Chain A
Amino acid sequence: MTDETVAPASPAPTPNQKVWDAPVRLVHWLLVFLVALSWWTAEEGDMQLHYWSGLTIVGLLVFRVYWGFAGPETARFSRFVKGPGAVLSYASKLFKPDYRASFGHNPLGALSVVAILLALIAQVGLGLFASDTDGLESGPLSPYVSYEFAKDAGDLHEDAFNILLILIGLHIAAIVFYLVIKRINLIGPMITGSRKAESVEGPASGIAPVPLWRFLIGVALAALVVFLIVWVPTTR
């Protein structure tokens, strides 16, 4: 008897809060895949695939930076990049009973987002100009720089990847921390876009939709930049 009363057929479902739109999630997972692919192709010496993998990352970064100004609330830099005060305040509340998960990036995690974006931009920026010591392989913009510059860019491209690896390691460690210690699953929302709206900040309904044309402009912009990087050097 008691069973029937405590287990009703359908408990009122916890409303879902939409936190990440499809473009943000897609860019995230494509970056995961392409950074891994770039690493692997560099180790294997498959420079043709490395070249295109890197150029695709360039396109994704152009889009993501644009989306940081044109995308929904949780994608915008102005919304999630906070000063040291907010970061410290967030960190101090992390273990308090009234802790509430942030709507989108928390102030501390925002630092990680910005650092990874900058590291990726530097990484592809160096790769575009890089050449190997033999003058056998080079990035698309390498013809514009001297052998010495291109070689240094290539060496730095290789060394700086370690910085990216450290940042990715910290990013994963933070996700594990939230999952194990705070019992907050951050991976699910990055896949589905939504999280259970229990004790979180922000509007219950989550992010508002963004008009399709804004997304299409971003895609066109990214494609244009990649096209120009590939095409302009062939017309010198």
Chain B
Amino acid sequence: MLRFSSVTYSYPYAAEPAVRDVSFTLAPGEAMLCTGRSGCGKSTLTRLANGLAPHFLRGNLRGEARVKGERTLDSTPAQLAEQAGTLFQDPERQFFALTVGDELALTLQWRGWDAERIREAVAESARLLGVEDILEHTVFGLSEGQKQKVALASLLALRPGLLVLDEPTANLDPESIAELADTLAALKQRGVALFIVDHRLYWTRGLVDTVLVLDNGAVAAEGDFSLLDDAPLREKYGLRAVDVPDPRASLPHMPRLESSDFFACEDLTFAYPKGGQVFENLSLSFTPGRVTALVGENGAGKTTLARLLTGLERPQRGKILAGKEAVKTRALARHAQVVLQNAGHQLRMRSVAAELDDAARGTVPERDRPSVARAYMEDYGLDRLARRHPQSLSGGEKQRLAVACAAIRGPRMLILDEPTSGLDGENMRRMAQSMRRAAANGACLLVITHDLEFMHPVCTEKLVLPEHTGETRR
């Protein structure tokens, strides 16, 4: 179904090839996992498989990639998509229509299918992925798991023989990951070949037949899944764990304190203007040096709590206290910081050094700023990148820089929203180190994460938000 023969590919203007001399074969009904540290060339393989490289991205290709026996060079990406559907990390970014039904039909419409055929294909793929009840829903109101399913259904409407999945679990919670694994297993049973690129490994055990470990663009190791049981190999290539315990049940609850002279909220009541009540009389007290996992179902209000505690939302009632003093919503950024899921939005200066200097403005005396910024760069492993433009950094580097920028302001409360989404094992461990350091420096950390592998060694306790009740169990 998919065959790479001595493929070497360089992006235009790049000094070195992104992948070099890669060969493998994937038969119908087989699944292959490709992993490796960030920037090792995994995503480039997906772009070679779906024809975006070199048709769309240009560059220099040697060797050949074939999909269903046809050279990818001989077909356009749109033609190849009929044989090889590609699922991106963030499905929302690949939606073009505004409702689920339209999204499933759009690709077929664009290809000139007649209305009856479209209806049949949409109904079949919607049934296969279990999204037939949400065909009228807007694509933007779906959960991440549902978006993933809709994107998959849209690909399957073309009935491709190969699915190329680029970090499909990066935004999913453990339950949605398990569902995705089941869906993919069912597709594999139907003869669909799967080429999966991911940092998270544990969910592919039992699903994939072959594992390809890439390093610096070349195949470093190849074998069945048991290859990844080798801990030194995982360490060497910056990979994540293969067995991940679920710490959500075993983590102790955040202790209930009557009051805190560090950081607290009292009787917070909040409802969105057109939504239901999210919190009613919520009181929480936080202690310094702790890393608390904020746990709850989708819609429980995890992000809303983070926004309230950092002043991005104003509660209808109640107050937030820093050192027993009630702080106005507008002034909360001085005491509480949040690193948003999309760290790139928080970076605005021309270099990493300038970014930290700017973040320290107003909280660190001007004469100390350069030395403090330097110290943070060293602590967070950013010193080699001091002159790089923040927007040119990799995802992991951006995340670390955003955390450093938040920490340099010396907040009492530091909240991180999915800080490890899309990070490889090495960067995930660096992030864990950064968070422990911030906690050791006296901040209280609240982490919103679906990443069990990250939660397990980093979080010391949990705060559970039950769905829709507005109550908080501690």
The answer on A and B forming one complex is no
